[in-house]
Amino acid sequence: MRKTTTAALSAITLVALGSPALSANAAPDSGPDGAAAYIVVLKDGAASGKVAAEHSRSHNAEVSHVYRSALKGYSARMSPTAVERISRDSRVLYVQRDGAVQASAQSTPTGINRANADVSPTAGINGLDERVDVDVAVIDTGVDLDHPDLNVNTAGAVNCARGGKSADDGNGHGTHVAGTIGAIDDGNGVVGMAPGARIWPVRVLDNRGSGTFSGIVCGIDFVTAHADEIEVANMSLGGSGTDDGNCGNSNNDAMHRAICNSVAAGVTYVVAAGNETDDSANHVPAAYDEVITVSALADFNGLPGGGAPATCRSDVDDTFANFSNYGSDVDLIAPGVCIESTWKGGGYSSISGTSMASPHVAGGAALYAANNPSAGPSQVKSALQNAGTTDWNNSDDHDSTKERLLDVSTF
């Protein structure tokens, strides 16, 4: 830990997620007497309850379940000798050793794979809830304060949105961003870039995903007041504007001035490039030099090389997303198409936008900051850029610069 105009959202395209699957594992261990758990399957027409009772009396089978509908039979714990004798009963079809199953509910989103967070030693993604010790502010529509897959710092929540009553998310966008940054690695739902990072919900946008510069400045002000606790702030939002190269002091841009002061206080800001297929120099905060601006990659399988079929929207695998802003202000590119993450109401959804690319980088910045607590924002930015790769196809990029693709494998 280190002591250290209207804004519009950029998320599009919702799809439903599937159900958890079950996978078989090793059978339960045998007891000291050699007894173990088995499933006895009877022939059609056999009376399950009657046979189970007989076997319990005659062979000391400890019956746990009796099956009458999906199949005829029962489950029980018994000795190897009992198994042998029961198998010879003319009413028995077969005896099967019991096995263990677990819910394979947690998925690793394609963006987490492509950014190599799944092999990051700091992220430590292994299905165990071992949380990254880092704090990240989500300046957005708020965050689902009760989402079971997020480590939300409710004491660090604030509402700056016009008409809002709390930092709870009434839109879904902020919760999605938060999940990409830090969904908990607990075997459920999804996993984020920096699993279990403490999320500070800073609500500056309303339930429609709209807000004001004044509300955003309120959020930045809150983050700056807690700069001794918050390492990284994500802003997946944007409005029209430019960078005067003077922290807003020449063109009277209060948001720019606020960000410059917050960065000077030690907070690393990661922002979305925007979804207008335009030069990001025309959009703020993307145009500001003091932030890390992120464009979106279309990646449908989490792997380089291209060729994967499109999933939730039309685009070409492993290329510059067809909606993403571009230009010299872009510092990194990260996956931003059909990204699966947490959603309001304790749910999950897949959406697209540079809003989804930015939190991948914010999560990467969090991983670096967790191991380098004294690093300032410029050092974090350089580390992310130096670690990035060029292993993607920029044939349809609108500028001549091939941005570095986020890679946190060494963080």
Catalytically active residues, by annotation: 140, 173, 355
Look at strands 6-8 and 210-212 and give their pairing.
antiparallel
Instruction: Give helix 213-225 / helix 254-264 axis angle, nearest 10°.
Output: 10
Q: How far apart are CA 76 and CA 71, in angstroms?
A: 15
Q: How far apart are CA 77 and CA 193, in angstroms?
A: 43
Residue that the structure tokens 């920096």 belong to:
194
- Among residues 201, 205, 244, the alpha carbon closest in space to that of 223 is found at 201
- Among residues 261, 303, 279, 291, the alpha carbon closest in space to that of 393 is found at 303
DSSP output for 224-273 = HHTTTT--EEEE--BEE----SSTTTTTT-HHHHHHHHHHHTT-EEEEE-
Encoded tokens for 214 = 């004044």
Q: How far apart are CA 278 and CA 375, in angstroms?
A: 32
Q: How far apart are CA 248 and CA 262, in angstroms?
A: 13
DSSP output for 29-82 = PP-TTS-EEEEEEEPTT--HHHHHHHHHHHH--EEEEEE-SSSSEEEEEE-HHH
